[in-house]
Amino acid sequence: MSTENLTLTDAIQTAVEAEMKAVTVYKDAAAKAANTAVEKLFGQLADFEQHHVDKLNELIASLQKKNKYVVYEGYSRPIAAQSEIQIAGKAAKVLEAAKVSLMDILTMAQEIEKSASKKYTDLAEQTSDKDGKAMFNQLAKEEQSHLKILTEVYWNLNDRGVWAWPGS
C-alpha cells in the first residue's frame, strides 16, 4: 500500500510499526553481540528507535485530539564513534559462528533505516504544516545517520574483520 492511499494517521502508524521492528532487530543484535561496545551500539540504536516510537505515538494522539503537530527537536544522545576493535581468540570463534547472522542483521537494519528515511521524506513532502514538515525531515535525517553507522559497521566487519564505526 502506498503512502498516498493512507490517511496521515495511518501513514504515521505504519512508521510506528516499522520503528518497533527496528527496536526488535537492534535488541536481537545486541543480544548476539560478542563485544560490549557492539552490544552498546545496538542498544543505543534500539533506544533511539524507541524514542521515535514514543514521539510518533505522541504525534498521533495530538493529531487525533487537537489536529496539531508536535514540535520535535530530535534525539539528543549521540552515538559515540568506535575505533577498531580487533577480533581475536574466543571472540573470533564466536563471531565466525555468528557472522552470517550478524551480517544478515546489519543488512536488515540497513534496509529498515533506508525505508524509514524514505517514509519520513515522503511524509515531509506531503504536509504543509511547518512543525510536521520539520519533524519528518528531522526523523529522516536521524535515520540516514543510523544508515551511515550501520554501513560503516557492515563494511569494516566484512572487509577488514574489525568492529568500527563513526559517531553520530
* Model pLDDT for residues 118-154, shown as the tens digit of each residue: 999 999 999 888 999 999 999 999 999 999 999 999 9
Q: Please give the pLDDT value at position 99.
A: 53
Rounded to whole angstroms, the Cα distance separating 156 from 19 reads 25
Give the integer Cα–Cα distance in Å for 21 and 50. 10
Segments in the chain below pLDDT 70: 1-6, 85-101
Residues 13 and 60 sit within 8 Å (Cβ to Cβ): yes
Question: Going along the chain, which residue ranges are E strands?
Answer: 82-86, 162-165
pLDDT of 38 reads: 85
Does the domain at residues 3-165 carry the CATH identifier 1.10.10.10?
A: no
What is the reported pTM?
0.83
Report d(CA 23, CA 106) in Å as an integer.
Answer: 13
Q: Tell me how far apart the alpha carbons of residues 80 and 166 are, in angstroms, rounded to a whole number.
A: 7
DSSP state of 80: P
- Read off the amino acid at residue 158: N
Question: How many Å apart are CA 97 and CA 100, to the nearest integer?
Answer: 8
Rounded Cα distance, 100 and 154, in Å: 11
Give the position of cell 545496538: 42
